[in-house]
Amino acid sequence: MSDALVVEGVSKSFGRHEVLRGIDLSVAEHEVVALIGASGSGKSTLLRCINLLEPIDGGRIFLSGEEITRRRDVNDVRRRIGIVFQSFNLFPHMSVLRNVTLAPRDVLGLSRRDADERATALLERFGLAEKRNEYPDRLSGGQQQRVAIVRALAMQPELMLFDEVTSALDPELVAEVLNVIGELAAGGMTMVIATHEMSFARDIADQVCFLDDGRILEQGKPQEIFTSPREPRTQQFLQRIIEAKRL
Amino acid sequence: MAGEGDRRAGLEVGRRSRLLDELRSGGDGRRSVAVALVSTVVFFAIVFFAITHAPGWPQVRSQFFNWHEFKSTFPEIARAFVVNIKIFSIAEVFILVFALFLAVLRSLPGPVFFPLRALAIVYADIFRGIPTILVIAMLGFGAPALGLSYLPKSVIFWGIVSLVLIYSAYVSEVYRAGIESIHPSQEAAARSLGLSRWQTLRRVILPQAVRRVVPPLLNDFIGLQKDTALVGTLGAIEAFQQSQIDTNATFNFTAYLSAALLFVAITIPLARFTDWLIARDRRQRQSGGATL
């Protein structure tokens, strides 16, 4: 069995504040892992550490069996991992098409034509073809987030990371973004998804990790975690989610 | 009725030049234009009357507003003004490039680049601290005196160098403010796609930063255009120096007026253009778009 991603004892502090305290996680190829847990439990930091946006203080991370935490060329690692952020972070001075083709052209060295072709195909696939020449501020939040996903996909990454990608969206726009992620899962994309959408996590994930205070407190199949959580902290967390009618 | 007019006047604010806005602001369009017109006419009539009835007016008129002198000096000064135009057009290009370089130096992260950052800071501090006329005097008289054969001796050259050195210090601060106004999430997004630090700067940060600082940049260039007159102190025959020559020859100050008119003829359009850009920027931000 081949692991697309292995996280081994990763720790990270911001000053005195320990955000990650020894995270171990394996993600098999084509597997979808959902990270759940309260705000501040370390989900986002873990994702940012995996694509080396944050340097880690301890532990190791392997991408397709190769250690990436000791490599010097972070750009080469990042082009293989796509990440989508909560706040979209599209480039406001570029059209949708340029947003998507920037990295393929500048990083992968694709010709303008090839990059445009690749981008257009992806935009079409996710129903954004007619928006290709629009600027981000003319799009709805849901459309922007879908463009951000397409932008990451255009690099043909081995692994996709999603950092609470629906948290900044109006409720009625959440579904269109989740559908895109669902489609990617169906297509066999390896993904790590930090999310507050519990029913989505339950439906899409092969594995659910409950993070609490920088540790993976509980880990297992969605049925196990959502129906019979072992840890009191997990039970407590899910109880609050149910009370908030999010599950 | 009045409400309707109000709204229309409000909508038009920002679409016209600032002068027209000034006229239209406050209340019913046609009436406020009329009031503004009358009050302007009355105001200038009073000023005109006060000046022309001052005891020293005949003297001042022949010394400062002498039509005959104006006609005879203006062409010469206009020709000399070409030198000013040359100075600031050349200086502007170098300032834009050099200042951007300084700003980029200053925004380099990490302890490795500390010396470069420090250098950029010291540079900005020094050249913003010394009066322009002193830098021009020191370089303009000092550099040619070194007698180095490979350095140009032209005072205009050294005037341009001085202006580039000084204005780059100011303009680099403007650029830097622009760079720092770009949210770090933009950098994170670019880096996460595999773009290098340099690619991120060039493709994502700078294009947005420069757009944001166009109005303050133009503001600095209005200052630069005026300061070209200081190069005249080195003996370059530009508009100010030429008008001084004329004044000394005739003991009549009308030549200064000619020079002043020439400066105003280029700085005022630029100032209005800057206002227009700022207004457009504000409008776009209000309508939700952050880009220019």
Supply the DSSP string of A168-185, one letter for each residue. TS-HHHHHHHHHHHHHHH
**The dihedral formed by the CA atoms of A185, A186, A189 and A193, expressed in degrees to the nearest 10:** 0
Residues B223 and B255 occupy one common structural domain: yes
Chain B residues closer than 8 Å to A82 by CB: 192
pLDDT of the residue at B247:
87
Chain A residues closer than 8 Å to B291 by CB: 92-93, 135, 137
A&B contacts, CB < 8 Å: 68
Range of the domain at B123: 67-286
- The arithmetic mean of pLDDT across residues A232-243, rounded, is 89
B129 located within any domain: yes
A107: left (phi over 0), alpha (psi -120 to 50) or beta: alpha
How far B292 CA lies from chain A's nearest CA (Å)?
A: 8
Residues B139 and B97 occupy one common structural domain: yes
Using 50, 70 and 90 to split pLDDT, how confident is the model at A150? very high
Residues B83 and B27 occupy one common structural domain: no
**Contact call for residues A136 and A57 (beta carbons, < 8 A):** no
pLDDT of the residue at B23:
58
Q: Please tell me the total count of domains within chain B.
A: 2
pLDDT of the residue at B27:
54
B149 located within any domain: yes
Residues B129 and B239 occupy one common structural domain: yes
Beta strands in chain A (DSSP E): 3-14, 17-28, 32-36, 58-63, 66-67, 81-84, 159-163, 191-194, 207-212, 215-220
B62 located within any domain: no
pLDDT of the residue at B287:
55
Tell me if residue A227 falls in helix, strand or coil: helix
How far A135 CA lies from chain B's nearest CA (Å)?
A: 9
B36 located within any domain: yes
Residues B253 and B140 occupy one common structural domain: yes
A102 located within any domain: no
SS (H, E, C) A113-143: HHHHHHHHHHHHHCCCHHHCCCCHHHCCHHH
Chain A residues closer than 8 Å to B206 by CB: none
A127 located within any domain: no
Tell me if residue B17 falls in helix, strand or coil: coil
What is the secondary structure of B37-51 as a DSSP string?
HHHHHHHHHHHHHHH
Residues B185 and B107 occupy one common structural domain: yes
Residues B272 and B220 occupy one common structural domain: yes
Task: Please classify residue B268 by burial: count the beta carbons closer than 10 Å to its beta carbon, then call 0-12 exposed, 13-18 middle and 19+ buried.
Answer: exposed
CATH number at residue A221: 3.40.50.300
Range of the domain at A45: 3-89+159-243
**Contact call for residues A23 and A216 (beta carbons, < 8 A):** yes
A184 located within any domain: yes
A72 located within any domain: yes
Q: Is A162 on the interface with B (CB under 8 A)?
A: no
Chain B residues closer than 8 Å to A90 by CB: 189
Contact A79 B211 (CB under 8 A): no
Beta-sheet pairing, A66-67 with A58-63: antiparallel
Contact B188 A135 (CB under 8 A): no
B250 located within any domain: yes
Contact B194 A90 (CB under 8 A): no
| Spans in chain B with pLDDT lower than 50 | 1-16, 288-292
Contact B195 A75 (CB under 8 A): yes
A138 located within any domain: no
CATH number at residue B246: 1.10.3720.10
Tell me if residue A18 falls in helix, strand or coil: strand
**Contact call for residues A85 and A148 (beta carbons, < 8 A):** yes
pLDDT of the residue at B289:
44
Chain A residues closer than 8 Å to B191 by CB: 53, 75, 78
Mean pLDDT taken over chain A: 92
Measured CA to CA, the distance from residue B280 to residue B274 in angstroms comes to 10
A125 located within any domain: no
Measured CA to CA, the distance from residue B289 to residue A156 in angstroms comes to 30
pLDDT of the residue at B13:
41
Q: Which of A90, A106, A137 sits opposite B288 (nearest CB)?
A: A137
pLDDT of the residue at B28:
66
Q: Which two tokens stand for residue B224?
A: 């630069």
pLDDT of the residue at B252:
86
Contact A137 B289 (CB under 8 A): yes
Residue A232 has pLDDT above 50, yes or no: yes
Sequence-separated (6 or more) residues with CB below 8 Å from residue B139: B158, B161, B162, B165
A151 located within any domain: no
**The dihedral formed by the CA atoms of B110, B113, B115 and B118, expressed in degrees to the nearest 10:** -70
Q: Is A103 on the interface with B (CB under 8 A)?
A: yes
Measured CA to CA, the distance from residue A187 to residue B188 in angstroms comes to 27
pLDDT of the residue at A31:
95
Measured CA to CA, the distance from residue A175 to residue A146 in angstroms comes to 11
Measured CA to CA, the distance from residue B245 to residue B227 in angstroms comes to 19
How far B149 CA lies from chain A's nearest CA (Å)?
A: 45
Residues B108 and B228 occupy one common structural domain: yes
pLDDT of the residue at A153:
96
Within 13 Å of residue B56, how many CA atoms lie on the same side as its CB? Answer: 3
Q: What is the pLDDT of residues A21-44, one digit of tens each?
A: 999 999 999 999 999 999 889 999
Q: Is B284 on the interface with A (CB under 8 A)?
A: no
**Torsions phi, psi for B135 (to 5 deg):** -60, -45
Q: What is the ipTM of this complex?
A: 0.91
pTM (2 d.p.): 0.81
pLDDT of the residue at B15:
44
pLDDT of the residue at B8:
42
Measured CA to CA, the distance from residue A150 to residue A67 in angstroms comes to 27
B14 located within any domain: yes
Q: Please tell me the total count of domains within chain A.
A: 1
A83 located within any domain: yes
What is the secondary structure of B20-36 as a DSSP string?
HHHHH-SS-HHHHHHHH
Q: Which of A141-155, A233-247, B45-59, B130-144 has the highest mean pLDDT?
A: A141-155
Q: Is A208 on the interface with B (CB under 8 A)?
A: no
B277 located within any domain: yes
B164 located within any domain: yes
Residues B38 and B128 occupy one common structural domain: no
pLDDT of the residue at B29:
75
The residue in chain A having the minimum alpha-carbon distance to the alpha carbon of residue B189 is A89
Q: Is B204 on the interface with A (CB under 8 A)?
A: yes
